Structure 1
């Protein structure tokens, strides 16, 4: 008779603290939010509403217009990061991984430093820089003969969201850069040497050899960008306030959730509708991550060593 394998109690002991902390700060609040979204307040009573709050959010013009506006702004905010931040991060990583580049450590540090700055600091500094009254942006453009291009970018509806997205790109481009840099360094020297022996060097080597090998890392960066941007709130709130002006042109799901849940100025807080918006955000992020995991990541595994 085969002897049963003893249960390894030490594994459970070591995992228990992390599981308890994760449950306390992630799992319980998540289910509490989902539960809160299924109730509504009628007068002085709280009654079960089922999916009525979601029908109100998606179908009632008073709510749906603001929701779809915030969702559209969030998508644009995300696309700018995907199309600007991540390609620049990959390019910088490729340049900084060149073995003959001098002062590469200094460049990496200088590019990464903004990522550790507070959103409050970044938002305040850029508001000062771009201010048409006392900012330095008009003088800097004037110094190169481009002052005619200056506009109050944070004060115009058509420019404000794109400007804030580019500020966010400036702050966080160091993260994809460092992740791709680490992925490039993990490529075995034998692969690079074999490519060089075949005469594949420079940009051709990166495109034909290195890029396919780092596609899984690029996929991870893409899903992190998606999750991070659909959870964004701080920079918009610091720069444009809870109303996400001008005229809600920079309103995203995070600021919409904040105004709804806590209330702002003449708008009274509604925790149940706020929880409904938070649940919708969770669903959007969950769907996006699942698409990545099951439709994209599985196709990238053939590039892994």
Structure 2
């Protein structure tokens, strides 16, 4: 009997070993892997390799981490880098503290299936699909203190004191641009949160209402805990998107990200360093080093999120 069971086990093991390679899966994945490699992996590796080289005798020569040492230590590059990084952190925090909570609030309101909710969703998501160049140009016209329409809109409301050159003051340029970006992109977290909320079974709401729970209690005890994975995903998307931001700042403030670099972020610093601006020529090797710093910051943020999420999942399992 034991001999028979051993024979059956060995034969099943041979069958498993002889299982053919799933070529059909490889064939279906190959186009996506090829496109991702050409469009994403190769440019990243090429940029990292470029950051480890510099011009020497009319040709590129390997210099190791010298470009990064120059970027972090020299007076020419260090001050603009830290200024851009600080502005990028502020840009990200405004999105996290304004865009995502407001997007969650809108999603909760739309989850009640109000009359015309489809129209509201469309109107709120419309700025997201508009060209960033058009949005930047339109807001420059609106906020222009000379021929903009903000004075005509604020005066009837008795808010003349708010008629200021918001994009022209060092203390207000970056927060103003951040809020414009929030207005444009708030539809993305709103739809992601809404998709998570509509998956919650109605039975949970009915049971909570029978127990006397109000709207705030339902949100805090039922909705928020069940959509926490979506909150994490939205936070990661916000972090990556903001530390890759460039187009809105460039379309409104130009490559110099004025006034006096008050709205300069890593994306605009990379553009000026790589391509040059005004009379300063570009340096592709130092520009690639700036891109390497951007990649390091993004990877560090993702690593923090993954570690925190893994720790939370471990605690839940325990």
TM-score, with structure 2 as normaliser:
0.92
Moved more, 218-227 or 262-271: 262-271
Supply the distance in 2 between the matched residues of 1:137 and 1:291 (Cα, whole angstroms): 42
Alignment of 1:261-272 (within 5 A): 261-272=274-285
Supply the distance in 2 between the matched residues of 1:267 and 1:179 (Cα, whole angstroms): 43
Aligned residues: 303
Are 2:89 and 1:75 aligned? yes
Gap runs ≥5 in structure 2: 1-10
- 2:59 alignment partner in structure 1: 45
- Does the Cα contact within 8 Å between 1:236 and 1:244 map onto a contact in 2? yes
Deviations 1:254-295 (A, max 9, x none): 000001111111111111001000011001000101110111
Deviations 1:92-119 (A, max 9, x none): 00111113x2111111110000000000
Gap runs ≥5 in structure 1: none
- 1:277 alignment partner in structure 2: 290
Deviations 1:26-55 (A, max 9, x none): 111111111001011135232211001000
Supply the distance in 2 between the matched residues of 1:285 and 1:25 (Cα, whole angstroms): 18
Supply the distance in 2 between the matched residues of 1:114 and 1:135 (Cα, whole angstroms): 20
RMSD: 1.5
**For the structure 1 residues 245 and 193, does the alpha-carbon distance in structure 2 shift closer, same or farther, using more than 3 Å as the test?**
same
Computing the radius of gyration over CA atoms, which structure comes out larger, 1 or 2? 2
Are 2:107 and 1:102 aligned? no
- Does the Cα contact within 8 Å between 1:89 and 1:174 map onto a contact in 2? yes
- 1:119 alignment partner in structure 2: 132
- Does the Cα contact within 8 Å between 1:215 and 1:303 map onto a contact in 2? no
**For the structure 1 residues 21 and 279, does the alpha-carbon distance in structure 2 shift closer, same or farther, using more than 3 Å as the test?**
same
Moved more, 270-279 or 294-303: 294-303
- 2:147 alignment partner in structure 1: 134
**For the structure 1 residues 301 and 233, does the alpha-carbon distance in structure 2 shift closer, same or farther, using more than 3 Å as the test?**
farther
- 1:200 alignment partner in structure 2: 213
**For the structure 1 residues 178 and 44, does the alpha-carbon distance in structure 2 shift closer, same or farther, using more than 3 Å as the test?**
same
**For the structure 1 residues 76 and 173, does the alpha-carbon distance in structure 2 shift closer, same or farther, using more than 3 Å as the test?**
same
- 2:29 alignment partner in structure 1: 15
Supply the distance in 2 between the matched residues of 1:8 and 1:31 (Cα, whole angstroms): 30
- TM-superposed CA distance for 1:197, in Å, is 2.3
**For the structure 1 residues 302 and 95, does the alpha-carbon distance in structure 2 shift closer, same or farther, using more than 3 Å as the test?**
farther
